[in-house]
Amino acid sequence: MNAIDSSTPSELVVVTGASTGIGRATARRLAADGFHVLAGVRTEAAAAEVKAEHVEPVLLDITDERQVAALADRVRGDRRPLRAVVNNAGIAVNAPIEALPLAEWRRQFDVTVFGQVAVIQALMPALLRSKGRVVNIGSTGGKVAMPAFGAYSGAKFAMEAVSDSLRREVEPFGVSVAVIVPGAVRTRLTERGGATSARLAEAMTPEQCTRYAGLMKAFRATTESWGTHGLDAAVVADAVSRAVHARKPRTRYTVGRDAAVMTRLTHLVPDRLLDRMVRRTMGL
Ligand SMILES: NC(=O)c1ccc[n+]([C@@H]2O[C@H](COP(=O)([O-])OP(=O)(O)OC[C@H]3O[C@@H](n4cnc5c(N)ncnc54)[C@H](OP(=O)(O)O)[C@@H]3O)[C@@H](O)[C@H]2O)c1
């Protein structure tokens, strides 16, 4: 995966998880905005696809320290400033907390927390040099934790805290940090997460199956409806573009009506009322 053309355009951006969904749309959008986009992908097939969209593929599994180090080398070896890193790569591991093996918790946090932190650490020297910005793709799941979303929301809540802490650490040195908070978006996350949760459901004990049958049915119906009625990923890419271009980026960009309503509710509504609203939303 060699550099395409290191003479133009004049600034770099990095987008992780750019093979599909929000990352792919973001890479395409930022390339159209005029950036040289380094797009993190995990297969040669995905590399070929993104290359056709005028972005430079970089082999990047964010849980692989050597690949993260190679990305930092690639950025360091380029004379163009790094305007932004878009931390997008993510997975969804959904099951009731009682029934979710620790290895699966670790997998969720390895990608969604530690992998993202590894990318931030590796690229911080370049961001400090260029006074660039970190754009983390959060989620409404990082604001409200629905049942069966303990691991996913745990990781997304964690990244909310990491983003706040990071902003307060590096803003004095000219690096800004923004979180994009999308509601439901039509991507492969639903189908991939659905396959994971079906596998996890099969491994539940008979008692757990009985206890959580209603919840898992409601979870499937809810996520399938997100997969059908969610926003186009390009709408999220527009918000990322605004965060990358703004003279003074906002700390958070909420994308979608569902995200706006849920985020607002968390500030206004007591826990017990929110519990009832969440259950009603899931049809429980
Ligand atoms: N879809 C939604 O409704 C929604 C809502 C709010 C927030 N989000 C967030 O948006 C982000 C992107 O998700 P998406 O909806 O666009 O789903 P997606 O289409 O499944 O895309 C996920 C991307 O992450 C990559 N990825 C997974 N594990 C990785 C790893 N270890 N290292 C590097 N890349 C990895 C995938 O690469 P491979 O193709 O190689 O697996 C893929 O490019 C996630 O952080 C997600 O939590 C999604």
> Is residue 6 domain-resident?
no
CB burial of 231-245 (b: ≥16 within 10 Å; e: otherwise) equals bebeebbbbbbebbe
Task: State whether the beta carbon of 90 lies less than 6 angstroms from ligand 1.
Answer: yes
> Is residue 131 domain-resident?
yes
pLDDT, residue 139, reads 98
Give residue 75 CA to ligand 1 midpoint distance, Å: 22
Residues assigned a catalytic role: 152
> Is residue 2 domain-resident?
no
Q: Which two tokens stand for residue 124?
A: 């911080």
Residue 76 zone, left/alpha/beta (φ > 0; ψ -120 to 50; rest)? alpha
Find the DSSP H helices in 38-139: 44-51, 65-76, 102-109, 116-130
- What CATH number is given to the structural domain containing 260? 3.40.50.720
pLDDT, residue 1, reads 53
pLDDT, residue 5, reads 44
> Is residue 174 domain-resident?
yes
Q: Which two tokens stand for residue 6?
A: 């290191």
CA–CA gap between residue 16 and residue 14 (Å, rounded): 7
Give residue 213 CA to ligand 1 midpoint distance, Å: 27
CB 166 within 8 A of CB 117: no
Domain that holds residue 156: 12-281
208-217 long-range contacts, CB within 8 A, separation 24+? 208/96, 208/98, 208/99, 211/96, 212/96, 212/99, 212/148, 214/284, 215/96, 215/147, 215/148, 215/284, 216/96, 216/148
pLDDT, residue 8, reads 62
Give the count of domains, the chain. 1
> Is residue 5 domain-resident?
no
Task: State whether the beta carbon of 62 lies less than 6 angstroms from ligand 1.
Answer: yes
Residues of the chain with pLDDT under 50: 2-7
Atom of ligand 1 nearest to the CA of 62: 32
Which residue's alpha carbon is at the smallest distance from atom 40 of ligand 1?
42
> Is residue 7 domain-resident?
no
pLDDT, residue 210, reads 97
Q: Which two tokens stand for residue 24?
A: 């792919």
Ramachandran angles phi, psi of 93, nearest 5°: -115, 105
Which residue in 70, 87, 69 sits closest to 3, CA to CA? Answer: 70
> Is residue 94 domain-resident?
yes
> Is residue 119 domain-resident?
yes
Q: Which two tokens stand for residue 71?
A: 């990305």
Which residue's alpha carbon is at the smallest distance from atom 30 of ligand 1?
61
Size (the chain), residues:
284
Which residue's alpha carbon is at the smallest distance from atom 45 of ligand 1?
90
Largest distance between two CA atoms of the chain = 62
